[in-house]
Structure 1
Amino acid sequence: MSHNNYALRDYFLYGLGFILLLEWLYPVPYITSGGSVSAFIVIAALFFIITLLKLPIILSFLLRVVVTIGALFWLFPSSQEVQESWFSLVVQDFFDNLIYILAGNVLELSELFRTFLFIVLLSILSYLLHYWIVHVRRILLFLIVSVVYVGAIDSFTDYSGEASIVRLFIIGMILVVTLRLLKNGEKNGSFSFLKIGKVMAFISVFILTAASLSFAMPKPEPQWSDPVPFLETVFGFSSGGTPIQRIGYSEDDSMLGGGFVQDDTPVFEATIEQGEYWKGETKNYYTGSGWDLSIDETNERHVSPPIQSDELEAVEREEKVAQLQFYGEGEQRFNHFFYPGELLSDEIENVHTEQVEPVVIHPVSNQATFLNGQVPPNQYELAYFEQTFQIAGLKEDGEGFSDLEMDAYTQLPEALPDRVQELAEELTTTSETVYDQVRAIERYLRGPEFQYETEDVPVPGANQDYVDQFLFETQRGYCDNFSTAMAVMLRTLDIPTRWVKGFTEGELLETNEDNQSFLISNKNAHSWVEVYFPSAGWVSFEPTPSFSGFNYEQEQLDLENNDLEEIPTPEEQEDLELPEEEAQVEETEEGTNDEAASNEQQSYGWLIGTSIGLLIILSTLVFVFRKRLSTTYVNRKQRSAQSVEDYARSFEHLLWLLRLYGVKRKENQTIREYARYVEKELALQDSPMVELAETYEQFLYSDNKHQLNKQKFDENWKKMLKQITS
């Protein structure tokens, strides 16, 4: 056979290896958002071509570096808003992620760095597959790991790996058998392409037939319980039953319920005069299981004044400035701004560029976004009104709601149980004003009947209302439960209410003369309620126990008035004795929902895939360099030998090393016969192996074991080691 035919054969087999690698790329959208499948296929193909060219190692390495940098620039292009160069941002990102790795915080790795690791893995696999297929003629290890990889991704993400497993078995078995035949044929000096072709066809037909029959045949019910839900619960991304989620801000609130685990991951730092709640968005459509935007206005975006221009009687507003610095350069997770109180201006300053850019307020969601739809910068400054609500004015208010306000913010599902409204009416029987009604329900939810709980929080059934379950069955939950219950009960009384989500004030870092610095983390994500009063606009209320709430100014009251207890001030509320469980509750946040759980699945799916990839690399490196590693190990052990027993073990290590290099001992051979066989195979002179064998036999069978010529043993040992490794 000509050299060209040999090359074509190897190219064909290497191509089958590339098809196997594609099964690693198809799940990419499910484990990372750093690019599409087609992009990674192109990148992998370039690495395969570089490997096929058989260039000098330095040139091959440089080409791989160029492809890697080009791929990152392709997948993560530079932004016109950022003045720094793309390379400097990438270098800074790499440095930050190396810190995360050294700290053991791998879940915080940026998307760019994760994608970089995946591209490096593709580069290494392109070389390893060529080594396994063309040189070693072995592919079974990679096939097994590929099946495990696809199985793990199939189990822990939404990726369906059934067809992938079938393809892996077909291509993999063809490669395994073909490479075995080639290896035997090359060893014997002959092989038949016709025979290999028949084997390929037989394996393909056999596997397809077996797969079709297994799919068509009836199957018994599983005999063992599924371990995946247990593992998902352990890792914090349960997909069934009572989900255990990770705390944090989520944009999808359609399915509320279930417990969560704490997460101290920092989100942003705020420089502000004093601590404030940070509003992200509001929602007005209650579905019975969660919150959404009203269907007919969800996609409407109008340029509207971010503030109410008229002076309002029941609220005092003071102009303030706040500056936010988000963590994770280039990885802003939110498409909208966060702000305290009420925005003062319809412009926000980009701290990086010092440019002031216009923003738009969605009329329903209350989200503040750039007019051009771009993602907010990593650091920005905004002006806002700090609000102090006047209780006297609020108590005199309550009339004048428009039809739009009533329709959009008093909506309730038809299936809401009647007992929810009955409870709201019972609680507000003695309330004379709308404000009194709001406070009565707020006090009830903050009272001893309810327990603040973040872990053991049930999920409503398929036909069960979220608020009804909380109020009448469980009576335990966190901010989502309390805020949603208050909003729904107020709506049953035709009081316009909307659900608000964002962050609490966070952790105080430092204080200077004019401002304070706060660290806002995932654990500070929170939800509360806003009620509309014509004389004050949207007024915030805090129904969740142990949270401080908002600023109110009490009117002068007659100390002899018996109604004083019905409207306690915030200070009096804070002084009320809370249950022991509530007193120990730290500031917490709203639990994530299906979208957040999906993101967790992607993160853990990526983590599992990367771990498998790193395991492949480590196993491969150990396999490729096994002889060198083994030689270094036995040589070091022999150098440290002191006693006769140590030298005996050195000889046993030598026997193991000979087997590794292919000089195997037959079953019926004695040690001395094997020594002569080794000297013959390796064309040794001066009989170093026989002398070593005699010394070892003396140790085994002689009564005088401690007589040993260590110098002679060392000389023979070095001769053998040199001959074996040459």
Structure 2
Amino acid sequence: MGEKSWLWRAVFGNWQDRLTKLFAGVLLLQYVSWIVEEDYVWLPETARLVTATLLFVFVVELFYGINRWIRLPIQLAGVIVATGLTSGYSPVSGSMRTLPKAGQLLVDNAGQLHPFIWFSLGAWLVYLLTMWCVKEKKRIYFVMLFSVLAMGIRDSFSLIILWDELALVICSGLCLLVIRHIVQLKSKSPTGWSHIADYPATFAVTIVLLLVLTMGFGALAPETGSVLTDPYTLYKNWQGEAVPVSGKGKVSSSTPLSAPGNATSGYSRNDESLGGGFDFDYTVVMTVESTNRSYWRGESRSLYNGSGWESSEEERQPGMTGIAAGNTLASDPLMQNVKSKTIEVRQTVTIEKDEQFPVLFGAFAVSKVESINGGTGGFERLQWSPTQASLKWPEATRTSRIPYPNTYTLVSEVPYIDEAGLRTAQLEQSDRRAVEQYLQLPPSLPPRVRQLAQEITQGAANPYDKAKKIEQYLQMNYKYNNKPPDTGKSKDFVDRFLFEVKEGYCDYYSTAMAVLGRSVGLPTRWVKGYAPGDTVLQDLALDGALPQGVIDPNGAAVYTVRNSNAHSWVEVYFAGWGWIPFEPTSGFAMPVLQPAEEPAAVPETEPVIETPVAPVEENSDWGKPASVAVTAGSVVIAAAVVLLAWLYRRPILRLLERIGWIEKLGLGRKREPATLNQQVIVAFGKLLRRSKRKGYGAYEHETARETMRRWSRKDAWLAKDLEALLAIFEKAKYSNNPITPEEWSKASAITNKLRKEL
């Protein structure tokens, strides 16, 4: 056989090296996929640029016959071109007669590539380094071990899923090891290799078949529970605590928690029979960019059948209206001419999950639909139900393969809770016919439910106080449990929860409040949707990690809403004031929005005479970036200043407060002195946060009482102090009676003692 041609060698020669570079690139792409899964790390353009860079470098590396010192400049040129296309580079022309002008021209052109150029250059250099690393078995083992550990730890302790990336990393590593083995065989045993080279199909088919079968059986095998577990989960299970597996919709425990029939959390489709348990699923459903924190309402139900909720006859009758972009939606007759003040809340909802819902979600109550998928089309597919205050995505639309909106913008008029005004609301006999469907109760409802409602609301002088008493009673006397025991004998869902099971999740609490409220004459309806979700700054403010007044915990933010945030609550109708939401579920709090303060009148002043500013010469260098390095340095310095200000925020704010600059700088608002009740609540919250650093702390699903009992079981010698502190805290938070100075002193002494002893 004659000598191979130059073209053949350039394209097909040294195939081991080409496959090595291919699998090295596949391995790096798993890191790109990982970073894309992370929130707020890379822009989509950055991910596309890095992927394109890796692909271009690999294509150039395929031409093995080209000298390396020629390939490298080609790759660099390709990286720069790709970066220019990504960053929208526009050539800048100018004079190059002098060195300063030539340098400025270079800065003007190169500066447009910032900051994308650093990512593309970094990807290129990392690819070159990786190709060098995977040419020895020891380094391949190191790369595989590092990748598996890094991705495995991140997958285990975050809400992202990296199973596919881990599988491809392992597959790439195995292929690289096989290639290294072939290379060593070729160098150490030329005779044996020449025999294999004569019959390559036999050797190649065996290896490929082995890898395909190994990875294929692993991919197609049914899911099973883990035989071994990590030390963290093992320790938590030993303590009797379940560890959520983030994003997987499962719970890891030493004992099987999921009874047959358990579902995962999410927006329910059928509510006619409530109950059973569920596992928390932390998959992201949507993000909501909103001017205020809120519950994201889906739809309501008014007919209680003894087991769950159905649409009433009035709700099933055609009463929906069409929608036009930007037009004000028709209002519920019960919400016309109400006295409640409202706050305009604007939300842009982006659906992150490939799923169609029967409704569009928004804060109560939606008044306008501004856009769907960024435009003003597609509104003809929506239906508005004024009586349910719901934006319906009809079944006919969902089954005709019309895609559910990826994003939509709504405007809502959220009622402000005016407790003084609501206490004046009285339901007249003439109003009862209009709300008759919201007072419905099944004939089979056990009498003891009505009797309990009378006992709870005894002494309440008005409908609003009755609703508050029922809300507080349920919050304080029933335990939250996403897997309540199915031990009750009563056929009625509410009766079984109140008197037999005595624990459950939101559907139990909300249904119980709706039925108890109707039992004492309160028009109620059951509502389902999503709790607000998570956002970094608001959660820090709610937890007390940020000083009061620096950020409004119910203010504007982007909220990440997961399946675990699926929720149900209650709305109560007050004559003349409309529907008002209530939150009876233990451990949850309804966002409370306050009306914007009226701006103070600005005193008239003498007109300001502006001094003209000399225009900047057109050819002057003023205002142009000196260099990319200066820009990058400025960003680093600014970031360092912000970081230091954050780390030392409390001393800085205390200093500004002492010298009277807080109000001048607009960093805070005048507040009334905190009451003793508020001081007890704040001190209790600080104790929970500080105790978390020492191995204690409260779980998201726990009430304060459940947390204190768990601490007492862990350290019995703390039980007396914890019980005393809990009693004062519950009085401060839930009772209408004020905390006495003696109780405050006692609570302060207990918290100081516990901080030292925990």
Identify whether the pair has TM-score above 0.5, normalized to the shorter chain. no
Q: Smaller-chain TM-score range?
A: 0.3 to 0.5
Higher Cα radius of gyration? 1
Larger relative CO (CA 8 A, sep 6+): 1 or 2?
A: 1
Normalised to the residue count of structure 2, the TM-score between the two structures is 0.44
After TM superposition, the score normalised by the length of structure 1 is 0.45
